[in-house]
Structure 1
């Protein structure tokens, strides 16, 4: 079933506050009293309950509701409800933010529009989100609430069992709702920050983490913050970064966590198909458009209509196709090959490249107008070597997945193996790490991952952050490990060969984190040889 046309239900922005109120001065005084009351509250529940009560009382409505999005903007929760003069208990359950079964809430949330229905017909609009009563709901107003950065973070709704035009309350009660939201964020920030902790912005404190991605390093947290800004807006996104940094995963996260999550996510690598076929693949064709076109075929833009089209390696798209892509971005129109007619599509474009598109545009290899259109919201993904402890988190994740796929027990990690990964530069980024870990899982015996299973060659970036002392310790560590393995783990023999007292050898092993697990493989080989 198609979404109803709500354009006629959205009232104009020019309606003036208080213009249609019988006693505007009394209303203004009651409104100011609410501001003063909320400014002194320090309880989240009292703020939420007080807001829905104030909205119902001030607008003379039988019902008011407050919905808030979670930090990832993927779940919408009814946080407070006031009905028939009583604050109602609410469930902690939430629903997906696309709200496909409630077009009214979906429209207000995703389009950032105030919605006013003076004559609510249940036969036209699904109203299951309203409480069941003996008398039907006849009018409704719903408006988006925003944080200090202008991003929609929830909905404020009030309804009546009489057919009323309540648009004249929207401005004043919307400001009141935004004030309460700001108070909630302030309270959350103050309670989460210790007294001696340096002050950080509310945006940083409320920063969503994850979106299905792995990593909590500062560069990745910056990426999460940018993802959160485009989840519910149709703006085009350009993902940049080195090869193997996970651009397709980020594109899918934006789709799966955004308002288009219930629609198709279509992927096309612009470098994986010949130029003469890419146009027909993207835009489709009509019967007879070229030799072999025996029937009409829709393109990927039609397949992604209502959803997201991810164009990977956009820098390899030929200039002739770039002009047609620009028209899709500007006009939302697609013309298939062999057709004189265009048709509308509603597709969000997410593009990705490892090239410097600005430099290509300056050299005439990429359309400058298309570059500026795509680069309106760029997200640069950090290389793996700049992500710190994320390397080890990703390695453990890939190892666990590989073991599950092979139906074998989880592997144990030795400290030298982790140290070797942490010190490597990873020119192939996450893709290279995934391949190395999966190979090591296949090579390891006894479900123990050793440094020798990775056998990483030194890369130009692997020692960039190591001091002279750290490099010397690495050389010493490798020397001790080789000597111990040569002597099959016998510490006395190794100490004699190195010309050291055994106590000194034990001290150096402890200081350099040389664990007995590293020497286990050599002893197992000796036992195997003895058995044969």
Structure 2
């Protein structure tokens, strides 16, 4: 199996390490992301992709993509049942055959499924993914701008892919206790490689920033309004990075008094203060090797800010009551809903600490800035609530979808989560209705503030969604009814970020 790969022993050890690493995955989305990243590393290719068939085997969707070492959220249109649009994928899937091409430049085959790059793609390897029943469930693909001999990787990649497929199905079953139903269809994924839900332009920018800082040791400052999911993003950075096997600890700096916060973070020695009857390690020590999230860091007292600065600069802590310092290795992520630069001007936050924390800022968008993600998030929260309550999944009425899509959500993702969970509790049938939701309708966006282009896009979006609902999600019939070529219709769906799964009722 290794005779055709360079340095067989080194490759075998790297392959074994990938099996071991992927076997520890506890989240399906992270598993797929780590899988394609591993394929790229093992093959030396700039691109690795994972395609999976849905439960009906009529729709092929891209589930994960790694480009130039970074996971890339990518929106892909579903292919037709016979895959006429992608001949190479059709051949590999239907014939269960490996496709390996060493010089794509002279090929007549269409490779539009590969991302557009300045440099042309030259080498390609496409391997079917086979499950335990020996049926094809998808494809893994590697491509390079260089001329590489990739055929030797096919057998080992196929076995690694089958292992990942089995592990992914196991994780899907574990997520739905007590359910005898098969895993949910894959289709076009609505999550990124970091386990975060959302594919709007604002969230794609967040994913891009995460990819740049994921394997770096620099401090991250998460900003954004209350309820935008700062702790969720911090956890995603930790679980997708090299410290994923170590501790992830959260401390809210506004939740406890100053004297308690200092002992909580730095620990103390016996006799340091009244009641200190034993040595106690702090959170910096507990997070050693892992990640510590300092939430609401803008509320940290000034006296503690100086000590935090020393931790960031020197990588060492001194417990209360001790005269000695010791080294630690902790990744610090800070989060705040406040503008720290304003607090600096007001003398409430140290300027030197601000610049140290803001080494790599990531501003999380408000939910009203990512309206294309609202329905995906709502479904995600509803599914989780149904699993927790051990009840059947619920469907969504069109009136509820329209209502949520037009609501401003001043409380952001946290408000949406609470609304959906309450609605699932109130729902006695199998369909969520408008009466199950309690929205503050005075916060609806002011249409008068929209530009002409925004209004036209809103009208166009409504027409496309109405037509898709009328035709039960059939894109060909919808395009024909609107008098558009199918390719143009798909382009408009992509430009307006319309996911067919969100409008099929």
Give the TM-score normalised by structure 2: 0.56
Contact 2:195 2:236 in 1 (8 A): yes
Larger Rg: 1
Contact 2:382 2:394 in 1 (8 A): yes
Between the aligned partners of 1:210 and 1:151, the Cα distance in structure 2 is 14
Partner of 2:166: none
Q: Which runs of 5+ in 2 are unaligned?
A: 25-40, 48-66, 71-101, 121-142, 145-190, 463-504
Q: Among residues 376, 381, 395, which one is paired with 2:359 in the alignment?
A: 376
Between the aligned partners of 1:194 and 1:401, the Cα distance in structure 2 is 32
Between the aligned partners of 2:320 and 2:3, the Cα distance in structure 1 is 58
Residue 147 to residue 216, structure 1, CA distance change in 2 (3 Å): same
Q: Among residues 261, 269, 275, which one is paired with 1:278 in the alignment?
A: 261
Instruction: State whether structure 2 residue 330 is matched by structure 1 residue 347.
Output: yes
Partner of 1:406: 389
Between the aligned partners of 2:3 and 2:194, the Cα distance in structure 1 is 30
Deviations 1:146-181 (CA, angstroms, capped at 9, x unpaired): 979x9868xxxxxxxxxxxxxxxxxxxxxxxxxxxx
Partner of 2:431: 448
Contact 2:410 2:443 in 1 (8 A): no
**Aligned Cα root-mean-square deviation (Å):** 4.3
Highest RCO, 1 vs 2 (Cα 8 Å, sep ≥ 6): 2
Residue 49 to residue 366, structure 1, CA distance change in 2 (3 Å): farther
Deviations 1:450-498 (CA, angstroms, capped at 9, x unpaired): 1122132224453445859989xx9xxxxxxxxxxxxxxxxxxxxxxxx
Matches within 5 A, 1:148-167: none
Instruction: State whether structure 2 residue 286 is matched by structure 1 residue 297.
Output: no
Q: How many angstroms does 1:385 deviate by?
A: 1.1
Q: Among residues 411, 418, 422, which one is paired with 1:428 in the alignment?
A: 411
Residue 352 to residue 405, structure 1, CA distance change in 2 (3 Å): same
Residue 250 to residue 185, structure 1, CA distance change in 2 (3 Å): farther
Contact 1:98 1:261 in 2 (8 A): no
Between the aligned partners of 2:304 and 2:437, the Cα distance in structure 1 is 43
Instruction: State whether structure 2 residue 42 is matched by structure 1 residue 96.
Output: no
Q: How many angstroms does 1:442 deviate by?
A: 1.7
Q: How many angstroms does 1:427 deviate by?
A: 0.6
Contact 1:97 1:259 in 2 (8 A): no
Partner of 1:251: 234
Instruction: State whether structure 2 residue 249 is matched by structure 1 residue 266.
Output: yes
Q: How many angstroms does 1:447 deviate by?
A: 2.0
Give the TM-score normalised by structure 1: 0.53
Between the aligned partners of 1:292 and 1:93, the Cα distance in structure 2 is 49
Between the aligned partners of 2:203 and 2:277, the Cα distance in structure 1 is 48
Residue 292 to residue 438, structure 1, CA distance change in 2 (3 Å): same
Between the aligned partners of 2:296 and 2:380, the Cα distance in structure 1 is 27
Q: How many angstroms does 1:201 deviate by?
A: 10
Q: Which runs of 4+ in 1 moved over 6 A?
A: 142-148, 150-153, 183-187, 197-202, 468-471
Between the aligned partners of 1:251 and 1:184, the Cα distance in structure 2 is 42
Partner of 2:126: none
Contact 1:98 1:262 in 2 (8 A): no
Q: How many angstroms does 1:407 deviate by?
A: 1.9
Deviations 1:203-254 (CA, angstroms, capped at 9, x unpaired): xx99x92311111111111111211222222111111111111111111111
Residue 389 to residue 92, structure 1, CA distance change in 2 (3 Å): farther
Matches within 5 A, 1:304-323: 304-323=287-306
What secondary structure does 1:65 align onto? helix
Partner of 2:197: 214
Q: Among residues 388, 409, 413, which one is paired with 2:371 in the alignment?
A: 388
Q: Which runs of 5+ in 1 are unaligned?
A: 1-47, 57-61, 68-76, 79-90, 100-141, 154-182, 475-517, 519-532
Contact 1:283 1:298 in 2 (8 A): yes
What secondary structure does 2:441 align onto? coil
Between the aligned partners of 1:185 and 1:219, the Cα distance in structure 2 is 34
Partner of 1:73: none
Residue 411 to residue 186, structure 1, CA distance change in 2 (3 Å): farther
What secondary structure does 1:310 align onto? strand
Deviations 1:482-516 (CA, angstroms, capped at 9, x unpaired): xxxxxxxxxxxxxxxxxxxxxxxxxxxxxxxxxxx
Between the aligned partners of 2:228 and 2:284, the Cα distance in structure 1 is 26
Contact 1:238 1:379 in 2 (8 A): yes
Q: Among residues 213, 216, 222, which one is paired with 1:239 in the alignment?
A: 222
